[in-house]
Homo-oligomer: A and B are copies of this chain.
Amino acid sequence: MDNRYSFVGGKEGLWQVIDVRGIAGSSLELVKRVNVVNDAVAELPLDSSWVLQSFTSNIRYAMRDEVTALRAVQPVLNRSEAISAVLIPIKKTVQWWEMAQDERRAIFEEESHHTTVGLEYLPGVARRLLHCRDLGEPFDFLTWFEFAPEHTKDFDELLLRMRASKEWEYVEREVEVRLIRDGIL
């Protein structure tokens, strides 16, 4: 299916793993490479350590003016210079998911400025948000970022600002997988 993305941690794929860091809760096993597959991968492939399943979906929080602002500056994925990538799987708390839509939105944007802060790092950092909670996966979201190595410091600053936000009080598990595209499939 078009909207499905699977991240296979093992020995294959375009992306070489530089580091796997547990930020909150248990980490993921360190692997050599990550294979990003635009499909469902229901079973763990041979010689792999983990597979994370996910899907793209409709907008959940952003308002029209925010969507318009984002689209004006959002870069595409697969830019030739964007050879650095970071995969961030996140699980939020039960308390987060039990909140009503307006309560989650207020923490996400009015208190944490998720979109507003993210906008400051565009067009340097490309991003794809993927959902997995509804698939019964161990994480709720995977976020995939791509940028040129010269934007690494900016990206690190973005992560620090996000993790200091009110929204992150509801993150109970977070892993950071740093990768580099070395072109060998």
Residues of A within 8 A of B (CB): 1-4, 55, 57-64, 66-67, 97, 99-103, 105, 131, 133-136
Contacts and interface: CB of A to CB of B under 8 A. Distances in A.
Nearest to A54: B134
Nearest to A64: B100
Contacts of A2: 136
27 contacts: A1-B135, A1-B136, A2-B136, A3-B134, A3-B136, A4-B136, A55-B134, A57-B133, A57-B134, A58-B133, A59-B99, A59-B101, A60-B60, A61-B101, A62-B100, A62-B101, A63-B100, A63-B101, A63-B103, A64-B99, A64-B100, A64-B102, A64-B103, A66-B100, A67-B100, A131-B134, A134-B134
Contacts of A102: 63-64
Contacts of A62: 100-101
A34 B59 CA distance: 33
